[in-house]
Amino acid sequence: MYKKAYGIIETLAPLHVGATAGEESGNLNLIFRDQFTQTGIIPGSSIRGRLRSEMRLIAGEDATYWYGNEAGSEQSDNNNNESIVKFEYASVLWLPVFCPGQPIVWVSSPRLLQRYKRIAGDVVQVQVDGQTKFLKDIDIPAHYTGSRNLKAKPLPGGTKTLFFNLGFVTVNKTVDLSPWFPTKQEQPAIIVDDNDIGMIHDMALYRQSRVRLKLDQKVVDGAGFFNTEALPEGTILVFPLAIRDDKSGKKWQPFNGSQSADIYLGGLESIGLGHCELTLNGL
């Protein structure tokens, strides 16, 4: 049996988790993506590796008991040491997008909200029409539903319109979307169709061109020109985890007793990417 819990990641800086090179030219640093929505993800192995490292640094503990032996170690070759804590990938829950007049609108889709509902539905309690309910007991708002504090241009028939860089989005109705934010604080937001979230996601990504210069000249060194894409600052992601029942009486405390901590995930930390706040719930 396993105890279920989940984690919330909020990016405090752009976040790049992906391949070091992509396409045939080899000059694109692409992020990992969900195969259905084409939105960015953080693999469970990346979260597990970072928490293993943090446990060593903060508590000076041998993390092997919780996370298993490292791949390629002598212990892993001789023993099948299963980890106590299991991690799944982190998916986007809300993605901040630039929108003239807002200036930021957080965007999600029914599929992304459905995963959050599956992960946290038994734990998160929300207020709906003056009643306290679990998240699993409320319906996911329909696509093209906006938040109440959304600044959108009214149209005939009660609809509103938002302008993004790639065109207009029609908001069919506005409701209280605070139950779908982990902080319970409603942000200017809209839920779009699953077919549209990938296009909006590409529009919202942080992109940066980088070069490697020659040591003695300010010119590009060979093929040292490449681009990087990353999830923007303010992205909210969610991931489930499971803790296997153990009779030793030990308690998993990755942040030395604290529920949340600032950590770095992904690559390109040396140029300011990867700073996140990670909060664990349900432990």
Residue 72 resides in a domain: no
Q: Which residue has the higher pLDDT, 72 or 89?
A: 89
Residue 22's pLDDT band, with cuts at 50, 70 and 90, is: very low
Among all chains, which residue has been given the structure tokens 């839920």? 191
Q: Which domain holds residue 148?
A: 96-204
Please give the structure tokens belonging to residue 153: 């241009």
How many whole angstroms separate alpha carbon 88 and alpha carbon 228?
25
- Relative to beta strand 206-213, strand 153-154 is unpaired
Residue 169 resides in a domain: yes
Residue 14 resides in a domain: no
Average of per-residue pLDDT across 115-128:
88
Average of per-residue pLDDT across 182-189:
88
pTM of the model: 0.85
Average of per-residue pLDDT across 159-171:
81
Residue 153 resides in a domain: yes
For the CA atoms of 215, 217, 222, 225, the dihedral, rounded to the nearest 10 degrees, stands at 90
What pLDDT, on a 0 to 100 scale, did the predictor assign at position 131?
Answer: 84
Count of domains for the chain:
1
Residue 161 resides in a domain: yes
Residue 4 resides in a domain: no
